[in-house]
Structure 1
Amino acid sequence: MIYIEKMEELHTDIKPYRDYTDQLFALYKVLGMQSIDDFHAEPESRWDEKNFMSFFCDITRSKDRVHEFDESDFKIYDDFVVLSGDIKFCAGMLHYLYPFITKGHDLFSSTIIDRRYSMHVSFGYQSVYQFWDRIGDLLWHFFKTGLKKESIYTGRVLNNLNPIYKAMQEYKDLEAAFKSFNDFFDVRHGVVHDFSLGTQLYWERRAAFRDYEANVSLQTKLTEYREKLTACLPLCIEALGYALRLISRIESSKE
């Protein structure tokens, strides 16, 4: 109870957070950033003149499943919505914070802004990995892969599909999209299994202290995190579209 009372004393004004949120949403608009939730209502030609939710569910409900869903397909859809929103948020935060991160080659210490920047890079890359992991899960439910549930990995699922499906353009588009994310998966692997990105960047900043060329290289990397995470948002959504269209090619007894 003491803890709660102290928290109430601290949280006397939510307006600064709402102002910050308004700024972030304005930034989304300027950058043209759209998550799946932004496609919820309006039909689009690339989704067969449907909104994305209808496009998703019409396919998942019209095909036989090799492995039944443990949850409602609405919940599976919602997870894609949430993860694409997380990617959007993290990418937006990188744009929001970037003008204020440390840039001088004669500056040694990392600031709180630097740490928040690296934190949102980590969150964003993890969300990208999760998004692709869910694509693998979705495919596993519809295709015979010989994989047990605990060994599902998107790359394995793709590798284990029947050659008939591998010859289809939808598969080729999906596989190419998956391979284009290899650098994301490498960064995420390092963050999870080696050192946090904040630690890595702090030590790189130390090495770049008063070294102009090393600092330029570091700044290039920081900029690329922002640009790559921003660019990957529509690519993730397109990849989910490829996966759904591949599922739609399955011959089903329901048809």
Structure 2
Amino acid sequence: MSKQRDIIQAYNEELFSLYRAHDLQCLTDNNYTYQGENVIAINTDAVVMAAKSGLYDRQIEVYDHLHLDREVKNPNQMQMELFSATADLKYRLGTLYLYTPYITVFEHSYSYIDGKKFYHYDQKLEDARFNRELPVAFESLYKFWQRIADYITSFFPELLIEKRGQIYFHSPLQYIHAHFPQLEASAHYQWLWNFQENIYPQFNKHRKFFVHHAGYDSNYVMKFLNAHREDDQAMVALDRERTYWLPYLKEQLELCNQGYLEMMKFLNQIEIAKTEDGSFTYQLLQNALN
């Protein structure tokens, strides 16, 4: 048991070192502080407004009507899920950095037979682990943006009725665009909309391929089998592909952290009021327009 604990400690120390070396930060770091913001308390204004307006009561009615689990779908739980998703992504990214020095580089993985150059892919354990960890990182990303959608939707429970509980990342942003265009004046909403339009689709394209079509490991092996019949440039392209993923995922982690702040600041700007017919109105607070 002591030997196992020593291995675990050494492994974690190496991960922590890689976190520092590559400046990886998630929402749980620095005592839940990001860009000087306390990420736990940042939603206080939105929570108070929702409670005062009676929106939470309507939320519970909708959850009951759709047979949704309130213990899972309540905003406090979803906030914890968002923290956890960024911690998961940071861990996966640190693990990828750990394996990177040992993955096969085709530029150095070839031999000559009868004067002809042949590339070979002798997949090492670290190489295989890298390939298998990569799609898991994309699942952590997907989970984060799904929870962002769930959290925003909790402030617009009628959307749950409209979608019968089936919410995707774009759902609440497009719902606001269609039904409450006055809220689009918020710079924080605009950040989220721009992300949805220009960044999320590319990430989700990668994720869908890994999940619904081919795992990264098997697909990479097939790419090698096809490329090694071609020329050196095809092999160079394979090397470049794997060096692309680490900076890409690091940027995605930073976008998750920023996206969390943008979402919370947007919700904090909304004034919610209940009308006589039981529906709710949404307006931006005056200071959000200044």
- After superposing on structure 2, the runs of 4+ consecutive aligned residues of structure 1 that deviate more than 4 Å are 41-45
TM-score, normalised to structure 1, is 0.85
- How far the C-alpha of 1:39 sits from its partner, in A, is 4.2
Larger strand proportion of the pair:
2
- What residue in structure 1 maps to residue 59 of structure 2? 67
- Paired position in structure 2 for 1:31: 22
* Corresponding residue for residue 13 of structure 2: 22
Q: Per the alignment, do residues 203 and 60 of structure 1 end up closer, same or farther by CA in structure 2, a change over 3 Å counting?
A: farther
Larger radius of gyration: 2
- Which consecutive unaligned segments of at least 5 residues does structure 1 have? 1-7
Question: Which whole-Å CA distance do the structure 1 matches of 2:34 and 2:169 have between them?
Answer: 28
| 3-state SS, counterpart of residue 252 of structure 1 | strand
User: Could you give the per-residue CA deviations for residues 187-237 of structure 1, whole angstroms, max 9, x where no partner exists?
Assistant: 111111111111111111222326421111111111111111111111111
Q: Which residue of 2 aligns with 1:56?
A: 43
The answer to whether the 8 Å contact 1:133/1:153 transfers is: yes
Give, as a single letter, the amino acid of the residue that structure 2 aligns with 1:173.
W
Unpaired segments ≥5 residues, structure 2: 64-69, 108-118, 275-284, 286-290
Is this contact kept in 2: 1:80–1:134, CA < 8 A? yes
Q: Secondary structure at the match of 2:104?
A: coil
- For 2:102, the equivalent position in structure 1 comes to 100
Cα–Cα, structure 1 residues 154 and 96, in superposed 2: closer, same or farther, change >3 Å?
same
1:122 to 116, 120, 135: 135
Tell me whether 1:193 sits opposite 2:212 in the alignment. yes
1:62 shift after superposition: 3.3
Aligned partner of residue 142 in structure 1, secondary structure? coil
Partners in 2 of 1:221 and 1:156 — Cα distance?
Answer: 32
Secondary structure class of the residue paired with 1:190 = helix
Deviation at 1:29, TM superposition (A): 1.0
Contact 1:88/1:233 (CA < 8 Å) preserved in 2? yes
Measure the CA separation in 2 of the matches of 1:103 and 1:41: 38
CA distance in 2, matches of 1:176, 1:197: 28
RMSD over aligned Cα, in angstroms?
Answer: 2.4
Residue by residue over 1:131-176, the C-alpha shift from the partner in whole angstroms, topping out at 9 and shown as x without a partner, is: 0000011111112436335321111221111211223222111111
Moved more, 209-218 or 153-162: 209-218
Counterpart pick for 1:110 among 110, 118, 123: 123
64, 71, 80: which one pairs with 1:78?
A: 80
Alignment size in residue pairs: 242
CA–CA separation in structure 2 for the residues paired with 1:41 and 1:160: 30
Compared CA separation, residues 246 and 102, structure 1 to 2 (3 A): same
- What amino acid maps onto 1:164 in structure 2? Q
Aligned-partner Cα distance in 2 for 1:169–1:31: 30
Which residues of 2 match residues 161-240 of structure 1 at below 5 A?
A: 161=176, 162-178=180-196, 179-209=198-228, 211-240=231-260
How far has the Cα of 1:43 moved from its partner? 7.6
